[in-house]
Amino acid sequence: MPGNDLRDAIARTRDEVCALHAELPRNGLVAWTSGNVSGRVPGTDLFVIKPSGLDYDALTPESMVLCAADGSVVDGGYRPSSDTASHAYVYRHRPDVGGVVHTHSTYATAWSARGEAIPCVITAMADEFGGEIPVGPFALIGGEEIGKGVVETLAGHRSPAVLMRNHGVFSVGRDARAAVKAAVMTEDVARTVHLARAYGEPLPIPPEAVAALHDRYTNVYGQQPTSQGEPR
Ligand SMILES: [Zn+2]
């Protein structure tokens, strides 16, 4: 990519990833400075991620940290998120992924604390996740162990989100906006299925119906993504 085009692409990704961070507190997914969003610079193996420990209100496009495929900092005045090595692992092993989001959103993290996958018992979940939201392994923060667990767990599922055991949610998408949407939807269905379970046993949806709903949502309803990456 020519130098000017690359600079423009990096600037656009900084703007987009910074703006998307506002969706986490707005949707009640994070407390204090927890949680992070990253986005791949399109057509490259570079990505942009939240700086570590900054208040959400203080985030600016310039404060976002540009990282290389190995998670090392390419450009940025702040230390990147402590989850950077895991985001990098996901980008290296999933070329189709353009965005990664991490939260400790309340209901989803409660499922992760029990090590229990969220069963697919509502049609909105069949649409969005194509089945259960699976549980990934317990992994310590700081290295790429979490990223490895995310990639390995998602390989066996249609879901774009995984509940990392005793920790929280990691979601992926074709771009950062899609990954944020998956994080929002994960908390939404985690809450609904929790409530269903609190008062009884949710009724399963037959696997063939789950597959049909997911297929319709992804291939018919959403066959022509708009510039915003949303299904029409
Ligand atoms: Zn975390």
Asked if the structure places residue 224 within a domain, the reply is no
Ligand 1 center to 164 CA (angstroms): 9
Q: Is residue 121 part of a domain?
A: yes
Label residue 95 by pLDDT band (50, 70, 90). Answer: very high
Query: How many angstroms does the Cα of residue 205 sit away from the middle of ligand 1?
Result: 31
Alpha-carbon gap, residue 202 to 125, rounded angstroms: 13
Tokens of 6: 């690359």
**Does residue 63 lie within any of the structural domains?**
yes
Distance 62 CA to ligand 1 centre (A): 23
Q: How many CB atoms lie within 10 A of CB 63?
A: 15
Domain membership of residue 226 (yes or no) is no
Structural domain count, the chain: 1
| Residue 2 pLDDT | 77
Q: Domain range for residue 38?
A: 3-219
In a domain, 231, yes or no: no
Ligand 1 centroid from CA 122, angstroms: 27
Task: Look at residue 232 and tell me if it is in a domain.
Answer: no
How far is the centre of ligand 1, averaged over its atoms, from the C-alpha of 35 (Å)?
A: 6
> In this predicted structure, which of 146-160, 161-175, 195-209, 213-227 has the lowest mean pLDDT?
213-227
Nearest to 74 by CA among 88, 89, 60: 88
Distance 146 CA to ligand 1 centre (A): 10
Residue 68 is part of a domain; what is its CATH number?
3.40.225.10
Domain assignment present for 156 = yes
> Please, which pLDDT band fits residue 108 given cuts at 50, 70 and 90?
very high
Determine, yes or no, domain membership for 225. no
Return the pLDDT at 141: 87
The SS3 assignment for 151 reads helix
How far away, in angstroms, is 198 Cα from ligand 1 center?
26
